[in-house]
Amino acid sequence: MEMIEKIINGDRKVAAKLITLAENDFNQAQNILKELYSYTGNALVIGITGPPGAGKSTITDQLTKSLRKQGKTVGIVAIDPTSPFTGGALLGDRIRMQDLSTDQGVFIRSMGTRGNLGGLSPATQSTVRILDALGKDIIFIETVGVGQAEVEIVKVADMVVLITMPGMGDDIQIIKAGIMEIGDILVVNKADKEGCERLVTEIEMMLDFNPKSKWRPPVLKTIAIDNIGIQELLQEINNHLKYLNESGELEQRRQESAKKEIFDLIQEKWKEILSSSINNGFLNKIAAKIVKREEDPYTAVKKLSNILIHSYTQGGMNK
């Protein structure tokens, strides 16, 4: 396939078009992504998450600059929330990454969450794979960490760097909100601001109470705008990568992610099959019966499921 050839030879224009296709029409994109799959798996995927304004984009920019000096190529997927009311999104992460935009060793793509509650875009996984095939060594995924996003990001990233900052009022709430669970490395950015030391101490204390994993997340201080602490952060990323490899956890995580992906995709597939195989007239009839109390919804669903399962085991699965 010509498109595949071009992407693995580094054609950023074709890569950009394929990302758009994955966002707009995933069914069609799958036909290409399946051919691309064998060219992926070489990049290290790092999730950068945390509350808005903590400095995720600034840190990603600084990390990328350091990696470029080491000769590494970088892909960045920067995700911002889509408005649930208008469907529009203001994607502003590039403001902090201006110097990177003409570097041919860097590819940045901004995306809206497009209705995904998890904070990731539905096309995030596809985009990561496209950038991987494009030859990027390290891929950063920047997402706003609120609630569910943290759980989502571990499906796609090999490791997660959690960024927070002092002075957010309810510091400790943010840490409690499940975020600690998924951060492999914890960063307190804006160390030039008041309250940094206290926040670090609080985080360390929480870690003392939660010694559940073999890996204790290091807690780092950075001043991203002045490029302070970035080398140390890179060092910790390397340490963690070493740990993931040596402990076999990287393998394990990737297998776990693959399992989740299969489950997600199969759910999507079945939703599609369902909505195309139950016709509306039939549905209306049952609904009318339910409203008149001639039938209850529980029994109706049970019956319907049996009919569907029966029809698919009779050879209707070739969809």
Partner 1 sequence: MDKKKIRVLVAKPGLDGHDRGAKIVARALRDAGMEVIYTGLRQTPEQIVETAIQEDVNVIGLSILSGAHTHLFPRIMELLKENKVEDIVVIGGGVIPEEDIYELKKIGIAEVFTPGTNTKDIIKFIQEKVK
Ligand X SMILES: Nc1nc2c(ncn2[C@@H]2O[C@H](COP(=O)(O)OP(=O)(O)O)[C@@H](O)[C@H]2O)c(=O)[nH]1
Piece of 17-25, 175-183, 195-203, 218-226 that binds ligand X (CB under 6 A):
218-226
Spatial contact of 219 and 200, defined as CB atoms under 8 Å apart: yes
Closer residue to partner 1 (CB): 25 or 251 = 25
Among 139, 136, 133, 180, CA closest to 157: 139
Secondary element (H or E) of residue 111: strand 106-112
In whole angstroms, the minimum distance from the beta carbon of 52 to ligand X comes to 5
Using the rule CB under 5 A, which residue among 57, 110, 121, 143 binds Mg ion? Answer: 57
List the single partner that 107 binds among ligand X, Mg ion, partner 1, none, CB under 5 to 8 Å by kind: partner 1
Spatial contact of 134 and 19, defined as CB atoms under 8 Å apart: no
Closer residue to partner 1 (CB): 89 or 172 = 89
Q: Between the CA of residue 109 and those of 20, 74, 140, 175, what are the distances in Å?
A: 10, 11, 10, 28
Closer residue to Mg ion (CB): 97 or 133 = 97
Backbone angles phi, psi at 293, to 5 degrees: 65, 25
Does 221 bind ligand X (CB under 6 A)? Our answer is no
Q: Per-residue contact track with ligand X, 43 to 62, x per CB under 6 A?
A: ---------xxxxxxx----
Closer residue to ligand X (CB): 225 or 290 = 225
Tokens representing residue 63 in the block: 């990390």
Does 224 bind ligand X (CB under 6 A)? Our answer is yes
Tokens representing residue 310 in the block: 């029966």
Q: Which residues bind ligand X (CB under 6 A)?
A: 52-58, 93, 96, 189-190, 192-193, 223-225
